[in-house]
Amino acid sequence: MQTINFRNKLHLYRYKIILLAGLLIPFNISAQYREKENLPNYDNELIHYGFYIGGHMASMKVKYNQAYMSNRFDSLHSVIPLESPGFTVGFIVNLRLAQYLDFRVLPGVGLYQYTLNYNTFDQAAPQVFQGKKEAFYAELPLLFKYKSQRRGNFRAYLIGGVKPSFEVSGKRPEEINEDVLLINTFNMALEFGFGVDIYYKLFKFSPEIRFSRGFSNALFDRQNSYSSPINELVTNSVSIYLQFQ
Which helix (H) or strand (E) segment holds residue 41: the answer is none
Choice between 95 and 16, residue whose per-residue pLDDT is larger? 95
Residue 182 has pLDDT above 50, yes or no: yes
Overall average pLDDT of the 180-190 stretch:
85
Which of 118-127, 148-157, 182-191, 193-202 comes out lowest in average pLDDT?
A: 118-127
Band of residue 131 on the pLDDT scale cut at 50, 70, 90: confident
Give pTM, 2 decimals.
0.76
Instruction: Give the CA count within 13 Å in the CB-facing half-sphere of 12.
Output: 6
Domain boundaries, the chain: 1-36, 42-244
Note the pLDDT tens digit of each residue in 214-243: 998 888 866 666 777 788 889 999 999 999
Overall average pLDDT of the 156-176 stretch:
81
Q: Work out the number of other CB atoms within 10 angstroms of the CB of residue 98.
A: 9
Overall average pLDDT of the 62-68 stretch:
77
CATH for the stretch 42-244: 2.40.160.20
Band of residue 137 on the pLDDT scale cut at 50, 70, 90: very high
Closest CA to 210 of 234, 188, 187, 238: 238
Closest CA to 56 of 134, 132, 110, 105: 110
Bridge partners, residue 188, by sequence: 164
Closest CA to 209 of 164, 243, 183: 243
Query: What pLDDT score does 228 carry?
Result: 75
Which of 67-76, 89-98, 232-241 comes out lowest in average pLDDT?
A: 67-76
71 phi, psi to nearest 5 deg? 65, 30
Band of residue 5 on the pLDDT scale cut at 50, 70, 90: very low
Amino acid at residue number 201: K
